[in-house]
Amino acid sequence: MIVDEEIRHSLGDRRFELPGGHPAHRRMRELLMSEVEIAEFESFHQENNQVQIRWNHNRLEELGLVTSRPPRGLISKSGSRPLWYLIGLEEQGGGEEGEINHSERLEQYQFRFDVDRLLANRAPLAAALATDGTEALAWYIPFHDTSSEWGIYIRDIGPRIIANRCFPDLLRTNPGEALELAFDFLFAHEFFHHISEIACTMLENSNLSNPLYRPYFDRLVSGDADEALEEALANSFALDFIHGKQNKDGLRGLMDDCPPGYRDYGEYQSKLHFERGLDWLASMFTGKPFSRSNRYTFGHGLFSHPNSVFNRMKVPLHETTDRSPCTPALPICIFNNIIVPEDIKNKANHKRTPPNARKQFWKCIDKLRGSQIERNRRLEKLNRKDWFKFDVTGGWRMVLEQISPGKWVVRYLDEWDKYMRYRAKNSL
């Protein structure tokens, strides 16, 4: 890792506390509070104008709402991900008790949902996207920050929103790939902020009497559209990592709805325009306002590094979870009653059904009755409305239909390969 504690220490008093306008403060509020609490807080805050919830990594950690991963570098543009991406480097310690591994996480998130419905139900999230664009779903805490933790933060709902909104076809055929692509986009966007911080630090180091990053960063997070060039470049940079025209178009649709700056990525898509943008950005580091005539000639050189350096430019990665889950648009299943028809009963008790499947089937029915499930990796929504699949054992599946709110019927029970044929035949 290039930026280590020694480098951070050497910045001395050029380090600073996160400015009040940084989106992480707003995310902190959303991660911790329910929608009602946020509304109450906002009305109170506006009247009293005295309380501010500040970004606090340690508090999130105490509450189990953030998981820190080993530092990561950029993925390769060819689309081949480093091995850690596929197996999840976090498992290298053998996986702690109770920790969900990477593939299980993906399985949990395989539900598709309607993003518009989610946003209609989650006003703070919709407001975050409208105000903060990409930073509503992921954010970067610079190494200039005085707190102990810095790096890229990805909100767990983030890749899911992007996959549902931008890659719906891919999500249907290959949910794992769709979620990873969405993750790559967010990571690459935030990684550009890291590249930018390093570029500004290089300028800063050439004249130590003159701190540059702090005043520049204040302007970047001020919410002023004239200061948002870095966001346009970050979106353009991230888009370049996404393969396939359909996927890129999906992301363009999302970014076109983002606030000014974020939505201006299109102006920096060609190599020439991107480099010109970097020259303008470098001139902004020196305190100049954004202007097409303010070019810091060769400023783009501050952003390019040989591969040997790039490979070591790793950033700590943190994954955050909302305390009140973003679930209104996810299927929430309430099992008040489950009817087991005669034919299913016969199957479940038949001597040719393996004893384990017999036992587990009745155990599952008992457990589900009277319960509420908002997401469970054994439960998967099928393509037909109100139909769900449930994993009875490793090899046996049952299909449930909700016939009226809370009232369910078991429609099917069999081993996996027969279930797959049944599913295909009935277009489930």
Among candidates 210, 138, 129, which has minimal Cα distance to 165? 129
Provide the residue type at 179 as one letter. L
CB of 234 to Zn ion, least distance (A): 5
Binding span for Zn ion by CB under 5 A among 233-241, 288-296, 298-306, 414-422: 233-241
**For residues 71 and 259, which CB has a smaller minimum distance to Zn ion in the complex?**
259
Residue 415: strand pairing partners: 396
Tell me the site size for Zn ion, rule CB under 5 A: 2
CB of 143 to Zn ion, least distance (A): 16
C-beta neighbour count of 309 within 10 angstroms: 11
Binding span for Zn ion by CB under 5 A among 210-218, 231-239, 292-300, 325-333: 231-239
**For residues 232 and 348, which CB has a smaller minimum distance to Zn ion in the complex?**
232
CB of 135 to Zn ion, least distance (A): 5
**For residues 196 and 283, which CB has a smaller minimum distance to Zn ion in the complex?**
196
**Which of 229, 234, 251, 330 lies at the binding interface for Zn ion (CB under 5 A)?**
234
**For residues 234 and 365, which CB has a smaller minimum distance to Zn ion in the complex?**
234
Binding span for Zn ion by CB under 5 A among 75-83, 119-127, 228-236, 416-424: 228-236
Which residues, at least 6 apart from 82, have a Cβ–Cβ distance to it below 8 Å?
A: 73, 75, 76
Encoded one letter per residue, x for contact with Zn ion by CB under 5 A and - for no contact, window 178-217 reads ----------------------------------------
Provide the residue type at 425 as one letter. K
> What is the Cα–Cα distance from 428 to 420, expressed in whole angstroms?
10
Contact 189, 138 (CB under 8 A): yes
> What is the Cα–Cα distance from 145 to 134, expressed in whole angstroms?
21
CB of 231 to Zn ion, least distance (A): 5
CB of 168 to Zn ion, least distance (A): 24
CB of 139 to Zn ion, least distance (A): 7
**For residues 167 and 237, which CB has a smaller minimum distance to Zn ion in the complex?**
237
Q: DSSP states of 83-138 as a string? A: HHHHHTGGGGG---TTPPPHHHHHHHT-----HHHHHHH-HHHHHHHHHHGGGGTE
Residue 220 sits in the site that holds Zn ion (CB under 5 A): no
Contact 31, 326 (CB under 8 A): no
Distance in Å from the first CA to the final CA of the chain? 48
CB of 255 to Zn ion, least distance (A): 11
**For residues 231 and 391, which CB has a smaller minimum distance to Zn ion in the complex?**
231
**For residues 22 and 358, which CB has a smaller minimum distance to Zn ion in the complex?**
22
> What is the Cα–Cα distance from 175 to 160, expressed in whole angstroms?
10
Q: Which residues of 137-169 are buried (b: 16+ CB within 10 A; e: fewer)?
A: bbbbbbbbbeeebbbbbbbbbbbbbbbbbbbee
**For residues 189 and 389, which CB has a smaller minimum distance to Zn ion in the complex?**
189
Residues that bind Zn ion (CB under 5 A): 231, 234
